Amino acid sequence: MVSGESLRLQKYLSMCGVCSRRKAEEAIARGDVTVDGEVAKAGQSVTVGRSAVSFCGEDVVPPRKKSPIVLALNKPSGYVCTHGDPHHRSSENIYALLPMYRQMKLICCGRLDKESEGLVIVTDSGAIAAKLMHPSKMVEKFYAVTLDKPLAPKHRKQLEGGIVDGGELLKIHAMKVLSGCRRLIIVLHCGKNRHIRRMMESVGYEVKKLIRYRIGNFSLGDIQPGKHRKLNEILIEQLCCGTVGCEL
The predicted pLDDT at position 88 comes to 45
Dist. CA 221–CA 128, nearest whole Å: 21
**All structural domains of the chain:** 6-59 (3.10.290.10), 66-137+220-243 (3.30.70.580), 140-215 (3.30.70.1560)
Q: For residues 111-128, b (16+ Cβ closer than 10 Å) or e, as one string?
A: bbbbebbbbbbbbbbeeb
82-115 tens-digit pLDDT: 865 545 454 589 999 998 887 788 899 888 999 9
pTM score: 0.72
Please identify every residue annotated as catalytic: 113
Mean pLDDT score of the chain? 88
Where is average pLDDT lowest: 33-47, 89-103, 141-155? 89-103
163-198 tens-digit pLDDT: 999 889 999 999 999 988 999 999 998 888 999 999
Dist. CA 28–CA 231, nearest whole Å: 43
Measured from the Cβ of residue 247, the count of other Cβ atoms closer than 10 Å reads 6
217-228 tens-digit pLDDT: 899 999 999 999
100 in helix, strand or coil?
helix
